[in-house]
Amino acid sequence: MPLKKTEALTPEQFKNIVKTIQEGFLGHRPNDRIATLLAAQGNLGLRISDILNLKLNDIVWSYNHYHIEIVEQKTKKKRDFTVPTPILEYLKDYAKRHNIKEDELLFKISERRVNNAINDAADYLNYDTSKIASHSFRKFFATQIYINNNYNIALVQKLLQHSSPSITQHYISMQQKDIEQALENNVMLPTNNTESKETKGNKGSKGKGASKSKTERELKREILERMLAELEDE
């Protein structure tokens, strides 16, 4: 059976799915474990296979900050990056509620059960279940990091342990090419006096600033979509 082609969640979808699973819904009891797992995945950007193997003692203190040290299940690469203190405290509170020791798995559950819960919650919320699964939470993380950090693809690549720096360079080069093309397309020079009134009328009421803003948004969205497509197998 082919893997589902997932899409990144919106912030609203992320919050609603986690809350729905946390509180319970039609035919489903509240599930603190899965809700916490998904909240952690959306805030750390880990693959589901790595979240399921996460322990509190994987998060260590050194050089004046907390960071996570794991070996990724899929790539076998070492993963080491900063964990915000609020995320660590969130996981500690969860572990305390469920009497989970630091050297024990935080989430003793199968990937299948997690994805079933996501699917049922998404269906309950009338979301497109054909495009939502656990990987959507990793893509949510990537999307929010990208948007909220000045569209910094290199930062996303580092945080996600993307397969190669060349992928980031590829995206950056495409971004530059697209920006150059956008600037050419956006040239607006004064017309000569022979321009017809009909031509002038077709220009519409949009100003230069509005046109440029729309173009930039479209470019950034296209770049993000390319990045997420690459992330599908990452």
Residues labelled as active-site residues? 47, 74, 135, 138, 162, 171
Secondary structure (H, E, C), 116-148 = HHHHHHHHHCCCCHHHCCCHHHHHHHHHHHHHH
- 174 to 177, 192, 219, 226: CA distances (angstroms): 5, 35, 10, 10
Q: Are strands 65-71 and 59-62 parallel, antiparallel or unpaired?
A: antiparallel
Whether the CB-CB separation of 102 and 56 falls below 8 Å is answered with yes
Grouping H, G, I as helix, E, B as strand and the rest as coil, residue 172 is: helix
Distance from C-alpha of 179 to C-alpha of 31, rounded to nearest angstrom = 46
Q: 161 with 198: CB under 8 angstroms?
A: no
